[in-house]
Amino acid sequence: MTTNFIPGIHRPVLPTLADIQRRRAELLGIQSQPHPQIPAALPTPEAQPMPPPRASAELKLGEAALYGLAGLAVRTIAPHTEAHPAAVLLQLLAAFGNAAGAGPHCMVDATRHGLNLFVVLVGQSSKARKGTSWNQISRLFSEVDHDWVANRVTTARLSPIGLIYTLRDQQPATDRRLLALSEEFASVLHTVRRAKGRLSPLLRSAWDSGNLRSLDGREPNQATGAHISLIAHITQRALAQLLLPTEAHTAFANRCLWTNVQRSNCLPEGGSLGAHELSAVAGELRRALDWAHSAPEILFRRDEATRELWHDSYPALSQARPGLYGAATSRAEAQVLRLSAIYAALDSSSVIEPPHLHAALAVWEYCSASASLLFGTCTGDPTADRIREALNASPDGLSRKQISALFHGHLSSDRIDAALEHLMSLGAVNQCIEPGRGRPTTLWSGIPDTESIDEESIQEET
Give me the residue spans of the domains in the chain: 17-375, 382-457
Q: Are 250 and 71 in contact (CB under 8 A)?
A: no
CA distances from 225 to 134, 159, 281, 380, 409 (A): 26, 19, 30, 33, 52
pLDDT tens readout for residues 371-390: 988 887 666 677 887 888 88
Give me the pLDDT at residue 214, please.
72
Nearest to 71 by CA among 60, 79, 63, 83: 63
For residues 4 and 375, which has the higher predicted lDDT (pLDDT)?
A: 375
Q: Read off the pLDDT band of 337 (50, 70, 90).
A: very high
Q: Which pLDDT score, from 0 to 100, does residue 461 have?
A: 37
Q: What is the DSSP string of 173-225?
A: PPP-EEEEEETTHHHHHHHHHHTTTSHHHHHHHHHHT--EE-SSTT---EE-S
Is pLDDT above 60 for 303?
yes
Of the chain, the percentage scoring pLDDT greater than 90 comes to 41
Alpha carbon distance 385, 441 (integer Å):
23
Higher pLDDT: 46 or 142? It is 142
Query: What pLDDT does 33 receive?
Result: 46
Q: Give yes or no for residue 404 having a pLDDT over 80.
A: yes
Predicted TM-score (pTM) of the model is 0.75
Is 90 exceeded by the pLDDT of residue 291? yes
Q: Write down the pLDDT at residue 460.
A: 39
Q: At what angle do helices 354-375 and 68-77 cross, to 10 degrees?
A: 50
Q: Which CATH architecture has domain 382-457?
A: Orthogonal Bundle (1.10)
Residues in CB range of 345: below 8 A, 6 or more apart? 96, 97, 100, 104, 115, 288, 291, 292, 298, 300
Instruction: Report d(CA 128, CA 349) in Å as an integer.
Output: 34
pLDDT for 368: 94
Contacts of 395 (CB under 8 A, 6+ apart): 445
Residues 388, 378: Cα–Cα separation, whole Å: 9
Burial class (CB in 10 A: 0-12, 13-18, 19+), 379: buried
Residues 6+ apart with CB under 8 A from 437: none
Is the pLDDT at 67 greater than 90, yes or no? yes
**DSSP H or E run through 298:** strand 298-299
Highest mean pLDDT among 70-84, 121-135, 155-169: 70-84
**Cβ atoms within 10 Å of 312's Cβ, excluding its own:** 14
β-pairing, 429-434 with 398-399? unpaired
| pLDDT at res. 125 | 62
> Model confidence at 271, in pLDDT bands (50, 70, 90)?
low
Mean pLDDT across the stretch 82-95?
94
Residue 50 is predicted with a pLDDT of: 43
What pLDDT is recorded for position 196?
54
Query: Does position 456 have pLDDT exceeding 50, yes or no?
Result: no
Residue 250 binned pLDDT confidence (cut-offs 50, 70, 90): low
Averaged pLDDT for residues 264-281: 74
pLDDT of residue 326: 85
Q: How far is residue 335's CA from residue 134's CA, in Å, rounded to a whole number?
A: 21
pLDDT of residue 451 exceeding 70, the answer is no
Q: What is the mean pLDDT of residues 71-94?
A: 92
DSSP 37: P
Residue 43 banded pLDDT, cuts 50, 70, 90: very low
| Strand ranges (E), 13-157 | 104-108, 111-113, 118-122, 153-154
End-to-end CA distance of the chain: 29
Please state, in angstroms and as integers, the Cα–Cα distance from residue 369 to each residue in 38, 62, 264, 317, 343, following that order.
Answer: 21, 12, 18, 13, 21
pLDDT tops 90 at residue 448: no
Query: What are the backbone angles phi and psi of residue 231, rounded to the nearest 5°?
Result: -125, 120
Q: Report the distance separating Cα 297 and Cα 324, nearest Å.
A: 36
pLDDT band of residue 9 (cuts 50, 70, 90) is very low
Is the pLDDT higher at 120 or at 220?
A: 120
Where is pLDDT greater, at 350 or 49?
A: 350
Fold of 17-375: Rossmann fold (3.40.50)
